[in-house]
A and B are shown apart, each in its own frame.
Chain A
Amino acid sequence: MIRCLLFFSIIISLLTTSCSTRIISTNYYQERKGTVDSIESRYEKLNATKPFAIAFTDKRLNIISFEMISDTLTRIYEFNINEKRLFDTLKKYNYNTPGIYYLIRKMQETKVTWINSVDYYVNDQPQQLIYLSIKPVTIRYLFSPPKYIALGYFRTAQAFDEKGRLLDSRRTKKIRKIKGQTFYRISDRICYTTTEKYR
Protein backbone atom coordinates (compact mmCIF):
# COMPACT_ATOMS: atom_id res chain seq x y z
CA MET A 1 0.00 0.00 0.00
CA ILE A 2 2.78 2.41 1.00
CA ARG A 3 4.73 1.47 -2.14
CA CYS A 4 1.65 2.15 -4.27
CA LEU A 5 1.09 5.57 -2.69
CA LEU A 6 4.76 6.40 -3.16
CA PHE A 7 4.54 5.44 -6.84
CA PHE A 8 1.50 7.66 -7.41
CA SER A 9 2.99 10.58 -5.55
CA ILE A 10 6.17 10.35 -7.69
CA ILE A 11 4.08 10.24 -10.90
CA ILE A 12 1.97 13.23 -9.80
CA SER A 13 4.94 15.28 -8.71
CA LEU A 14 6.70 14.52 -12.02
CA LEU A 15 3.63 15.61 -13.94
CA THR A 16 3.14 18.78 -11.96
CA THR A 17 6.68 19.97 -11.46
CA SER A 18 8.94 18.83 -14.27
CA CYS A 19 6.47 19.09 -17.16
CA SER A 20 5.66 22.72 -17.54
CA THR A 21 3.77 23.89 -20.62
CA ARG A 22 5.99 24.54 -23.64
CA ILE A 23 5.27 27.05 -26.38
CA ILE A 24 6.16 25.38 -29.68
CA SER A 25 7.30 28.43 -31.60
CA THR A 26 10.23 30.32 -30.10
CA ASN A 27 9.71 33.26 -32.39
CA TYR A 28 5.96 33.75 -32.24
CA TYR A 29 5.89 37.55 -32.48
CA GLN A 30 8.36 37.84 -35.39
CA GLU A 31 6.42 35.24 -37.40
CA ARG A 32 3.18 37.20 -37.04
CA LYS A 33 4.60 40.68 -36.59
CA GLY A 34 2.64 42.31 -39.43
CA THR A 35 -0.76 41.04 -38.33
CA VAL A 36 -0.23 41.55 -34.60
CA ASP A 37 1.06 45.11 -35.10
CA SER A 38 -1.89 45.93 -37.37
CA ILE A 39 -4.33 44.61 -34.72
CA GLU A 40 -2.67 46.88 -32.17
CA SER A 41 -2.76 49.97 -34.40
CA ARG A 42 -6.36 49.31 -35.47
CA TYR A 43 -7.38 48.90 -31.82
CA GLU A 44 -5.55 52.10 -30.88
CA LYS A 45 -7.54 54.10 -33.44
CA LEU A 46 -10.91 52.58 -32.56
CA ASN A 47 -10.25 52.84 -28.81
CA ALA A 48 -9.34 56.54 -29.09
CA THR A 49 -12.82 57.39 -30.37
CA LYS A 50 -14.79 55.14 -28.01
CA PRO A 51 -12.91 53.07 -25.42
CA PHE A 52 -13.44 49.32 -25.22
CA ALA A 53 -11.69 46.03 -24.48
CA ILE A 54 -12.21 42.58 -25.98
CA ALA A 55 -11.50 39.15 -24.48
CA PHE A 56 -12.13 35.74 -26.02
CA THR A 57 -13.44 33.67 -23.15
CA ASP A 58 -13.71 30.21 -24.72
CA LYS A 59 -11.06 27.85 -26.06
CA ARG A 60 -12.37 27.90 -29.63
CA LEU A 61 -12.37 31.71 -29.69
CA ASN A 62 -16.03 32.11 -30.59
CA ILE A 63 -17.29 33.89 -27.47
CA ILE A 64 -16.19 37.38 -26.55
CA SER A 65 -16.53 39.47 -23.46
CA PHE A 66 -16.93 43.02 -24.76
CA GLU A 67 -16.25 45.89 -22.36
CA MET A 68 -17.73 49.24 -23.35
CA ILE A 69 -15.94 51.82 -21.28
CA SER A 70 -17.14 55.35 -20.51
CA ASP A 71 -16.27 57.84 -17.76
CA THR A 72 -19.27 56.89 -15.67
CA LEU A 73 -20.10 53.31 -16.60
CA THR A 74 -18.43 50.18 -17.96
CA ARG A 75 -20.74 47.70 -19.64
CA ILE A 76 -19.53 44.11 -19.83
CA TYR A 77 -21.55 41.89 -22.15
CA GLU A 78 -20.77 38.43 -23.46
CA PHE A 79 -21.59 37.45 -27.06
CA ASN A 80 -21.06 34.68 -29.51
CA ILE A 81 -19.35 36.50 -32.39
CA ASN A 82 -21.99 35.24 -34.84
CA GLU A 83 -24.84 36.48 -32.68
CA LYS A 84 -26.96 39.37 -34.01
CA ARG A 85 -27.09 40.78 -30.49
CA LEU A 86 -23.44 41.84 -30.88
CA PHE A 87 -24.19 43.90 -34.00
CA ASP A 88 -27.27 45.45 -32.36
CA THR A 89 -25.34 46.36 -29.20
CA LEU A 90 -22.43 47.93 -31.08
CA LYS A 91 -24.86 49.98 -33.10
CA LYS A 92 -26.92 50.97 -30.07
CA TYR A 93 -23.86 52.35 -28.27
CA ASN A 94 -22.45 54.07 -31.39
CA TYR A 95 -19.37 51.92 -31.85
CA ASN A 96 -17.67 51.66 -35.23
CA THR A 97 -19.41 48.37 -36.04
CA PRO A 98 -17.52 47.34 -39.23
CA GLY A 99 -14.19 48.35 -37.64
CA ILE A 100 -14.82 46.29 -34.52
CA TYR A 101 -16.07 43.28 -36.51
CA TYR A 102 -12.87 43.41 -38.59
CA LEU A 103 -10.77 43.64 -35.43
CA ILE A 104 -12.59 40.66 -33.85
CA ARG A 105 -12.03 38.59 -37.00
CA LYS A 106 -8.32 39.45 -37.09
CA MET A 107 -7.98 38.68 -33.38
CA GLN A 108 -9.66 35.32 -33.88
CA GLU A 109 -7.39 34.41 -36.83
CA THR A 110 -4.22 35.40 -34.97
CA LYS A 111 -5.43 33.91 -31.66
CA VAL A 112 -5.24 37.25 -29.85
CA THR A 113 -7.32 36.50 -26.76
CA TRP A 114 -7.35 39.90 -25.06
CA ILE A 115 -6.76 43.49 -26.03
CA ASN A 116 -6.98 46.42 -23.68
CA SER A 117 -5.60 49.88 -23.03
CA VAL A 118 -3.83 50.34 -19.69
CA ASP A 119 -3.14 53.71 -18.11
CA TYR A 120 -0.11 54.44 -15.93
CA TYR A 121 1.75 57.51 -14.73
CA VAL A 122 5.30 58.81 -15.16
CA ASN A 123 6.22 61.98 -13.21
CA ASP A 124 2.51 62.27 -12.38
CA GLN A 125 1.63 62.49 -16.09
CA PRO A 126 -0.75 59.97 -17.68
CA GLN A 127 0.70 57.47 -20.16
CA GLN A 128 -0.89 54.69 -22.14
CA LEU A 129 0.07 51.13 -22.91
CA ILE A 130 -1.79 48.71 -25.15
CA TYR A 131 -1.75 45.21 -23.76
CA LEU A 132 -2.61 42.18 -25.83
CA SER A 133 -2.33 38.43 -25.22
CA ILE A 134 -1.86 35.64 -27.73
CA LYS A 135 -2.79 31.99 -27.25
CA PRO A 136 0.11 30.11 -28.84
CA VAL A 137 0.25 26.43 -29.78
CA THR A 138 1.64 24.64 -26.74
CA ILE A 139 2.63 21.20 -25.53
CA ARG A 140 0.75 20.85 -22.31
CA TYR A 141 0.98 18.10 -19.71
CA LEU A 142 -1.56 17.01 -17.16
CA PHE A 143 -1.86 19.62 -14.36
CA SER A 144 0.48 22.04 -16.09
CA PRO A 145 -0.89 25.60 -16.36
CA PRO A 146 -1.77 27.23 -19.69
CA LYS A 147 0.66 29.66 -21.31
CA TYR A 148 0.02 32.86 -23.18
CA ILE A 149 2.30 35.41 -24.78
CA ALA A 150 1.54 38.94 -23.57
CA LEU A 151 2.71 41.96 -25.54
CA GLY A 152 2.94 45.52 -24.25
CA TYR A 153 2.95 48.39 -26.77
CA PHE A 154 4.13 51.62 -25.17
CA ARG A 155 3.67 55.01 -26.84
CA THR A 156 7.24 56.10 -26.14
CA ALA A 157 10.65 54.40 -25.98
CA GLN A 158 11.25 52.52 -22.73
CA ALA A 159 14.33 51.67 -20.69
CA PHE A 160 15.64 48.10 -20.50
CA ASP A 161 18.57 46.58 -18.62
CA GLU A 162 21.40 44.53 -20.16
CA LYS A 163 19.26 41.37 -19.92
CA GLY A 164 16.49 43.10 -21.86
CA ARG A 165 14.17 43.47 -18.84
CA LEU A 166 11.76 46.41 -18.77
CA LEU A 167 12.82 49.06 -16.23
CA ASP A 168 10.85 51.72 -14.37
CA SER A 169 12.91 54.51 -15.91
CA ARG A 170 16.35 55.25 -17.33
CA ARG A 171 17.54 56.59 -13.99
CA THR A 172 16.66 53.53 -11.89
CA LYS A 173 17.59 49.90 -12.15
CA LYS A 174 14.21 48.91 -10.76
CA ILE A 175 12.42 46.32 -12.88
CA ARG A 176 8.92 47.41 -13.89
CA LYS A 177 6.42 44.60 -13.46
CA ILE A 178 3.11 44.63 -15.29
CA LYS A 179 0.48 42.43 -13.60
CA GLY A 180 3.29 40.90 -11.55
CA GLN A 181 5.28 39.86 -14.65
CA THR A 182 8.72 40.90 -15.88
CA PHE A 183 8.62 41.99 -19.51
CA TYR A 184 11.44 41.62 -22.06
CA ARG A 185 12.50 43.84 -24.95
CA ILE A 186 11.34 43.31 -28.52
CA SER A 187 11.93 46.88 -29.65
CA ASP A 188 12.27 50.28 -27.93
CA ARG A 189 8.55 50.46 -27.26
CA ILE A 190 7.35 46.84 -27.53
CA CYS A 191 7.99 44.17 -24.92
CA TYR A 192 6.71 40.68 -24.16
CA THR A 193 6.36 38.05 -21.48
CA THR A 194 4.95 34.54 -21.15
CA THR A 195 2.22 34.20 -18.59
CA GLU A 196 -0.37 31.79 -17.23
CA LYS A 197 -3.14 34.38 -17.47
CA TYR A 198 -4.23 36.14 -20.59
CA ARG A 199 -5.48 39.20 -18.71
Chain B
Amino acid sequence: MNLRHKSILSLFLVSFFCIEKNFASDLLSKINSTKEEALAFLEKIDQTKENDLWPNVKPKLFYDNLKLNLENPMSFYPGRSTNFCAYGAISYLVMQKDPLGYVKFMNELYDKGGATFNQNKFKPSKAIMQAAGTLQFKGVLDIRHAEQMWFLVLSDKFKGYLNFFNKKYQEGDENTFWAATNLSKFNRMVSKMCGVKVKAVGSDLIKPWVKDTYSYLQKRIDSNIVSLYINNRIIHKKNHDKIKFSIPTHFIILRQIRKENNMITLRYWDYGGETEMQITPRTFKKIIFGIITITK
Protein backbone atom coordinates (compact mmCIF):
# COMPACT_ATOMS: atom_id res chain seq x y z
CA MET B 1 0.00 0.00 0.00
CA ASN B 2 1.58 3.29 -1.03
CA LEU B 3 1.58 6.50 0.97
CA ARG B 4 -1.40 8.00 -0.86
CA HIS B 5 -3.57 4.96 -0.17
CA LYS B 6 -2.52 5.00 3.46
CA SER B 7 -3.48 8.65 3.87
CA ILE B 8 -6.88 8.15 2.20
CA LEU B 9 -7.53 5.09 4.35
CA SER B 10 -6.58 6.96 7.50
CA LEU B 11 -8.89 9.85 6.57
CA PHE B 12 -11.75 7.40 6.19
CA LEU B 13 -10.90 5.71 9.48
CA VAL B 14 -10.85 9.05 11.24
CA SER B 15 -14.20 10.02 9.80
CA PHE B 16 -15.84 6.64 10.45
CA PHE B 17 -14.50 6.72 13.96
CA CYS B 18 -17.21 9.18 14.93
CA ILE B 19 -20.19 7.61 13.14
CA GLU B 20 -21.83 7.09 16.49
CA LYS B 21 -20.02 7.97 19.59
CA ASN B 22 -20.79 8.86 23.15
CA PHE B 23 -18.49 11.26 24.88
CA ALA B 24 -18.76 10.49 28.56
CA SER B 25 -19.49 13.31 30.93
CA ASP B 26 -17.22 13.82 33.88
CA LEU B 27 -17.48 15.39 37.30
CA LEU B 28 -17.62 18.84 35.74
CA SER B 29 -21.24 18.37 34.79
CA LYS B 30 -22.09 19.58 38.29
CA ILE B 31 -20.55 22.99 37.65
CA ASN B 32 -23.18 25.61 37.02
CA SER B 33 -23.45 29.33 37.56
CA THR B 34 -25.80 32.18 36.78
CA LYS B 35 -25.64 35.37 34.78
CA GLU B 36 -26.22 37.42 37.95
CA GLU B 37 -23.21 35.87 39.69
CA ALA B 38 -21.10 36.58 36.62
CA LEU B 39 -22.27 40.23 36.37
CA ALA B 40 -21.57 40.74 40.09
CA PHE B 41 -18.04 39.38 39.59
CA LEU B 42 -17.50 41.67 36.59
CA GLU B 43 -18.64 44.76 38.54
CA LYS B 44 -15.85 44.30 41.09
CA ILE B 45 -13.05 44.23 38.49
CA ASP B 46 -10.95 47.26 37.52
CA GLN B 47 -12.02 47.52 33.90
CA THR B 48 -9.49 50.15 32.86
CA LYS B 49 -6.28 48.18 33.33
CA GLU B 50 -4.14 47.77 30.22
CA ASN B 51 -1.94 44.73 29.80
CA ASP B 52 1.24 44.52 27.69
CA LEU B 53 0.71 40.78 27.31
CA TRP B 54 -2.19 41.60 24.97
CA PRO B 55 -0.83 44.71 23.23
CA ASN B 56 -3.77 45.17 20.85
CA VAL B 57 -6.64 44.43 23.23
CA LYS B 58 -8.37 47.61 24.40
CA PRO B 59 -9.62 47.22 27.99
CA LYS B 60 -12.87 49.10 27.35
CA LEU B 61 -13.74 46.98 24.31
CA PHE B 62 -12.71 43.84 26.20
CA TYR B 63 -14.84 44.40 29.30
CA ASP B 64 -17.79 45.88 27.37
CA ASN B 65 -17.71 42.73 25.29
CA LEU B 66 -17.73 40.47 28.36
CA LYS B 67 -20.72 42.37 29.71
CA LEU B 68 -22.52 42.00 26.38
CA ASN B 69 -21.78 38.25 26.38
CA LEU B 70 -23.47 37.98 29.77
CA GLU B 71 -26.42 40.23 29.00
CA ASN B 72 -27.02 38.58 25.64
CA PRO B 73 -25.26 35.21 25.26
CA MET B 74 -26.75 34.82 21.79
CA SER B 75 -24.70 37.80 20.61
CA PHE B 76 -21.44 35.82 20.20
CA TYR B 77 -20.31 36.57 16.66
CA PRO B 78 -17.59 34.37 15.13
CA GLY B 79 -16.88 36.89 12.37
CA ARG B 80 -17.35 37.13 8.64
CA SER B 81 -15.26 34.75 6.46
CA THR B 82 -13.57 33.07 9.45
CA ASN B 83 -13.49 29.39 10.41
CA PHE B 84 -14.63 30.16 13.95
CA CYS B 85 -18.21 28.81 13.62
CA ALA B 86 -17.52 25.72 15.79
CA TYR B 87 -16.09 27.91 18.57
CA GLY B 88 -19.19 30.09 18.29
CA ALA B 89 -21.34 27.03 18.97
CA ILE B 90 -19.10 26.13 21.94
CA SER B 91 -19.56 29.67 23.30
CA TYR B 92 -23.33 29.23 23.16
CA LEU B 93 -23.02 26.04 25.25
CA VAL B 94 -20.52 27.51 27.71
CA MET B 95 -22.77 30.51 28.33
CA GLN B 96 -25.72 28.21 29.00
CA LYS B 97 -23.72 26.24 31.52
CA ASP B 98 -21.23 28.46 33.28
CA PRO B 99 -21.22 32.23 32.57
CA LEU B 100 -19.31 32.95 35.78
CA GLY B 101 -16.65 30.41 34.77
CA TYR B 102 -16.40 32.16 31.42
CA VAL B 103 -15.82 35.69 32.79
CA LYS B 104 -13.43 34.45 35.48
CA PHE B 105 -11.47 32.57 32.84
CA MET B 106 -11.36 35.53 30.45
CA ASN B 107 -10.32 37.92 33.20
CA GLU B 108 -7.51 35.63 34.35
CA LEU B 109 -6.41 35.06 30.77
CA TYR B 110 -6.24 38.82 30.23
CA ASP B 111 -4.38 39.44 33.50
CA LYS B 112 -1.89 36.59 33.42
CA GLY B 113 -1.71 35.45 29.79
CA GLY B 114 -2.88 32.00 30.80
CA ALA B 115 -5.83 30.44 32.61
CA THR B 116 -7.73 27.23 33.28
CA PHE B 117 -11.30 26.51 32.21
CA ASN B 118 -12.91 23.33 33.53
CA GLN B 119 -9.48 21.75 34.09
CA ASN B 120 -8.32 22.69 30.57
CA LYS B 121 -5.14 24.73 30.75
CA PHE B 122 -4.76 27.52 28.21
CA LYS B 123 -1.39 29.12 27.55
CA PRO B 124 -1.70 30.90 24.20
CA SER B 125 1.34 31.54 22.01
CA LYS B 126 2.82 35.02 21.48
CA ALA B 127 1.35 35.17 17.98
CA ILE B 128 -2.15 34.70 19.42
CA MET B 129 -1.57 37.40 22.03
CA GLN B 130 -0.41 39.78 19.31
CA ALA B 131 -3.35 38.93 17.04
CA ALA B 132 -6.15 39.42 19.58
CA GLY B 133 -7.63 42.86 18.99
CA THR B 134 -6.31 43.14 15.43
CA LEU B 135 -8.88 41.10 13.47
CA GLN B 136 -10.49 43.44 10.97
CA PHE B 137 -13.24 43.41 8.40
CA LYS B 138 -15.03 40.63 10.26
CA GLY B 139 -18.17 42.60 11.01
CA VAL B 140 -18.90 43.43 14.62
CA LEU B 141 -16.13 41.05 15.74
CA ASP B 142 -13.76 43.93 14.82
CA ILE B 143 -14.71 45.71 18.06
CA ARG B 144 -15.33 42.64 20.23
CA HIS B 145 -11.92 42.13 21.73
CA ALA B 146 -12.96 39.50 24.30
CA GLU B 147 -14.52 37.33 21.60
CA GLN B 148 -11.45 37.71 19.37
CA MET B 149 -9.33 36.52 22.29
CA TRP B 150 -11.70 33.63 23.13
CA PHE B 151 -11.97 32.31 19.56
CA LEU B 152 -8.23 32.58 18.91
CA VAL B 153 -7.36 30.87 22.19
CA LEU B 154 -9.80 28.01 21.57
CA SER B 155 -8.47 27.49 18.04
CA ASP B 156 -4.91 27.51 19.37
CA LYS B 157 -5.67 24.93 22.06
CA PHE B 158 -7.83 22.31 20.32
CA LYS B 159 -6.48 20.51 17.29
CA GLY B 160 -7.88 17.88 14.95
CA TYR B 161 -6.66 16.26 11.77
CA LEU B 162 -7.84 19.22 9.67
CA ASN B 163 -5.26 21.36 11.47
CA PHE B 164 -2.43 18.89 10.86
CA PHE B 165 -0.58 20.97 8.25
CA ASN B 166 -1.18 24.35 9.89
CA LYS B 167 -0.80 24.31 13.63
CA LYS B 168 1.01 27.60 14.29
CA TYR B 169 -0.97 30.79 13.96
CA GLN B 170 0.10 33.33 11.37
CA GLU B 171 -1.72 36.52 10.39
CA GLY B 172 -4.94 35.68 8.53
CA ASP B 173 -5.09 32.07 9.78
CA GLU B 174 -8.51 32.65 11.33
CA ASN B 175 -9.78 32.12 7.76
CA THR B 176 -7.74 28.98 7.04
CA PHE B 177 -7.43 25.33 8.08
CA TRP B 178 -5.64 26.50 11.24
CA ALA B 179 -9.08 27.29 12.71
CA ALA B 180 -11.07 24.48 11.03
CA THR B 181 -12.99 21.93 13.10
CA ASN B 182 -14.06 18.40 12.24
CA LEU B 183 -16.89 16.55 13.97
CA SER B 184 -14.76 14.55 16.36
CA LYS B 185 -12.82 17.65 17.46
CA PHE B 186 -16.09 19.50 18.05
CA ASN B 187 -17.44 16.70 20.24
CA ARG B 188 -14.20 16.59 22.20
CA MET B 189 -14.28 20.36 22.72
CA VAL B 190 -17.89 20.32 23.93
CA SER B 191 -17.20 17.48 26.32
CA LYS B 192 -14.05 19.08 27.74
CA MET B 193 -15.22 22.68 27.92
CA CYS B 194 -18.76 22.10 29.15
CA GLY B 195 -18.38 18.79 30.97
CA VAL B 196 -21.57 17.46 29.50
CA LYS B 197 -22.71 14.23 27.90
CA VAL B 198 -22.38 14.35 24.12
CA LYS B 199 -23.87 11.88 21.67
CA ALA B 200 -23.04 12.26 18.02
CA VAL B 201 -24.23 10.54 14.87
CA GLY B 202 -22.72 11.15 11.46
CA SER B 203 -19.20 11.82 10.29
CA ASP B 204 -17.01 14.17 8.27
CA LEU B 205 -17.80 12.40 5.02
CA ILE B 206 -20.83 10.16 5.47
CA LYS B 207 -24.28 11.34 6.49
CA PRO B 208 -25.89 10.13 9.75
CA TRP B 209 -27.22 6.59 9.72
CA VAL B 210 -30.72 7.43 10.97
CA LYS B 211 -33.97 6.32 9.41
CA ASP B 212 -35.83 9.62 9.53
CA THR B 213 -33.62 12.62 10.30
CA TYR B 214 -36.59 14.94 10.83
CA SER B 215 -38.19 12.73 13.50
CA TYR B 216 -34.80 12.03 15.06
CA LEU B 217 -34.25 15.76 15.57
CA GLN B 218 -37.79 16.47 16.73
CA LYS B 219 -37.54 13.82 19.41
CA ARG B 220 -34.39 15.31 20.86
CA ILE B 221 -34.74 19.05 20.47
CA ASP B 222 -36.93 19.72 23.51
CA SER B 223 -34.92 17.90 26.15
CA ASN B 224 -31.41 18.46 24.75
CA ILE B 225 -29.28 21.04 23.01
CA VAL B 226 -28.86 19.88 19.42
CA SER B 227 -26.00 21.02 17.25
CA LEU B 228 -25.79 20.21 13.53
CA TYR B 229 -22.74 19.82 11.33
CA ILE B 230 -23.95 20.92 7.91
CA ASN B 231 -22.86 21.58 4.36
CA ASN B 232 -23.50 25.29 4.26
CA ARG B 233 -22.43 25.62 0.62
CA ILE B 234 -25.68 24.04 -0.57
CA ILE B 235 -27.86 26.57 1.23
CA HIS B 236 -25.50 29.54 0.89
CA LYS B 237 -24.43 28.95 -2.69
CA LYS B 238 -21.23 30.73 -3.61
CA ASN B 239 -21.24 30.01 -7.33
CA HIS B 240 -23.65 28.70 -9.95
CA ASP B 241 -21.90 25.38 -10.63
CA LYS B 242 -24.09 22.35 -10.26
CA ILE B 243 -21.37 19.96 -9.18
CA LYS B 244 -20.31 20.68 -5.62
CA PHE B 245 -18.18 18.79 -3.12
CA SER B 246 -20.45 17.18 -0.62
CA ILE B 247 -18.64 18.01 2.59
CA PRO B 248 -19.78 19.65 5.83
CA THR B 249 -18.51 23.17 6.47
CA HIS B 250 -20.49 24.71 9.31
CA PHE B 251 -21.71 24.14 12.89
CA ILE B 252 -25.05 25.50 14.06
CA ILE B 253 -27.22 25.19 17.17
CA LEU B 254 -30.68 24.00 16.18
CA ARG B 255 -33.44 25.83 18.08
CA GLN B 256 -36.64 24.75 16.29
CA ILE B 257 -37.68 22.47 13.49
CA ARG B 258 -41.08 22.15 11.81
CA LYS B 259 -42.58 20.81 8.63
CA GLU B 260 -45.43 22.36 6.65
CA ASN B 261 -46.52 22.21 3.00
CA ASN B 262 -43.65 19.84 2.21
CA MET B 263 -41.09 22.41 3.36
CA ILE B 264 -38.89 22.08 6.42
CA THR B 265 -38.30 25.21 8.46
CA LEU B 266 -35.17 25.29 10.56
CA ARG B 267 -34.55 27.96 13.15
CA TYR B 268 -30.96 27.95 14.31
CA TRP B 269 -28.33 30.05 16.03
CA ASP B 270 -25.00 30.70 14.39
CA TYR B 271 -23.58 34.19 13.77
CA GLY B 272 -24.70 36.33 16.70
CA GLY B 273 -28.38 35.69 16.19
CA GLU B 274 -31.09 33.36 14.99
CA THR B 275 -31.77 32.43 11.40
CA GLU B 276 -34.94 30.89 10.05
CA MET B 277 -34.60 28.98 6.83
CA GLN B 278 -37.06 27.10 4.65
CA ILE B 279 -35.68 24.15 2.72
CA THR B 280 -37.08 21.17 0.86
CA PRO B 281 -36.85 17.71 2.50
CA ARG B 282 -34.34 16.78 -0.24
CA THR B 283 -32.02 19.67 0.61
CA PHE B 284 -32.50 18.91 4.31
CA LYS B 285 -31.26 15.36 3.71
CA LYS B 286 -28.33 16.62 1.65
CA ILE B 287 -26.96 19.17 4.10
CA ILE B 288 -26.78 17.28 7.41
CA PHE B 289 -23.58 15.35 8.14
CA GLY B 290 -23.51 15.34 11.91
CA ILE B 291 -26.11 15.53 14.68
CA ILE B 292 -24.66 16.27 18.08
CA THR B 293 -27.00 15.82 21.04
CA ILE B 294 -25.89 17.51 24.23
CA THR B 295 -27.62 16.86 27.53
CA LYS B 296 -29.05 20.09 28.95
A residues whose Cβ falls under 8 Å from a Cβ of B: 55, 57-59, 65, 71-78, 113, 118-121, 124, 135, 145-146, 148, 168, 176-180, 196-199
Contacts and interface: CB of A to CB of B under 8 A. Distances in A.
Contacts of B25: none
Interface stretch (B134-142, B153-161, B199-207): B134-142
Contacts of A55: 237
Interface residues of B, number: 26
Contact of B80 (A74, A118, A168, A197): A118
Given A121-B142, A124-B61, A168-B136, A198 B274 contact: no
User: Interface centre among B58, B236, B240, by most A CB within 10 Å?
Assistant: B240
Interface stretch (B113-121, B178-186, B275-283): B275-283
B265 to A, nearest CB: 9
Contact of A197 (B137, B235, B239, B277): B239
A118 B278 contact: no
Contacts of A72: 273-274
A107 B277 CA distance: 23
Contacts of A58: 240
A77 B280 CA distance: 11
Contact of B239 (A65, A121, A198): A198
Interface string B264-276: 0001000001111
B81 interface: yes
Interface in B104-146: 136-137, 139-140, 142-143
A168 B134 CA distance: 12
A145 B277 CA distance: 28
Contact of B240 (A59, A73, A119): A59
A124 B60 CA distance: 11
A120 to B, nearest CB: 5
B81 A180 contact: yes
State the 7 A-B residue pairs at the shortest beta-carbon distance, nearest first.
Answer: A197-B238, A121-B142, A76-B277, A59-B240, A74-B275, A75-B276, A146-B239
Given A65-B236, A179-B81, 13 more contacts: A58-B240, A72-B273, A74-B274, A75-B275, A76-B276, A119-B139, A121-B140, A121-B143, A124-B143, A135-B240, A146-B240, A177-B137, A180-B81
